[in-house]
Amino acid sequence: MAGEVKLSSAIRANLLSLQKTAELVARTQERLSTGLNVAFPVADAVAFFQAKSLSDRASDLSEKKNGIDQGISALTAALLSVESAEDIFAQMKGLVLSAKSGTASDRLTLSSQFNNLAQQANNLIGDSSYQGLNLVNSTANALKVSFSEKTGSVLNVDGANLLVTNFVGLSFVAVSTLASAGFTVLSNGWSAVSNSISLFDAVVDILDSAITTIRTNAATLGSNVSLLQTRLDFTTSYVNTLTGGSDKLTLADLNEEGANLVALQTRQQLATQALAFAGQSEQAVLQLFT
């Protein structure tokens, strides 16, 4: 073909070697810049999709980890409320014991204090919500924490009703009758039952039962917090393991790639010199005809 440049076999071989070396240099530089040995399926389809599967699962579990962490916070908020409520119930019990041996005037004052503490206990329990969820003021509320994509891998925590009015026999302010104890809080407080010591004992029994219920709920909440913390630690370690496995399949060895780049650059220089030598040989042949 007219105008076509013919290359000798030596020059063509050196040129092809130089082009191949340039491709290897470009690939090595890309690995150094991205840190990836397998960035696309064409590089290594098996390794690429295995790594993607591991990375996808790690990503999914990372989302679950956030939910577990929020679950710990919700249970911790409820636990703090329960522990504080127990202290108030204990104070209420102390007031009843004082009223049992007090005068009519003492009982009038103590009944007012009792009512006030009961209201404060309810206020505290009612204020113990976390992101709109209150696990201590209603049995209708519940917490569900998912650990993975498996439907059975969840923790369900049922709510409890620890409001003072939930314990039968403890009435205050607007409600005047302690039905189960046969005890009436009249307008003049506890002074009306000055001769009914056994009825004070009945109220103490109710408070003891309430405190026991509160402690049971505290133990349940504490156990679930511990479980979620264990699961959070496991998920964190598991995500790291999955990510590490994915990295093993795709990440480049930067030390090795750095050494490769130096070697390839040296080869590139040698190929350039070889190409120059081949050209000089042809010029020497040409000089024979001049």
pLDDT in tens, 71-110: 999 999 999 999 999 999 999 999 888 888 877 777 778 8
User: 63: pLDDT confidence band, cut at 50, 70 and 90?
Assistant: confident
pLDDT at 101: 80
pLDDT at 221: 95
Across 74-88, 147-161, 164-178, least confident range:
164-178
Mean pLDDT of 199-205: 81
User: 249: pLDDT confidence band, cut at 50, 70 and 90?
Assistant: low
pLDDT at 198: 72
pLDDT at 174: 32
pLDDT at 42: 58
The answer on pLDDT for 35 being more than 60 is: no
User: 259: pLDDT confidence band, cut at 50, 70 and 90?
Assistant: low
97-101, 120-124, 256-260, 267-271: which has the highest mean pLDDT?
Answer: 120-124
Fold observed for domain 61-241? f41 fragment of flagellin, N-terminal domain (1.20.1330)
Length of the chain: 290
User: 234: pLDDT confidence band, cut at 50, 70 and 90?
Assistant: very high
pLDDT at 181: 36
Q: Delimit the domains of the chain by residue range.
A: 9-35+252-287, 61-241
Instruction: Provide the phi-psi class of 189: left if phi over 0, else alpha when psi is between -120 and 50, else beta.
Output: left
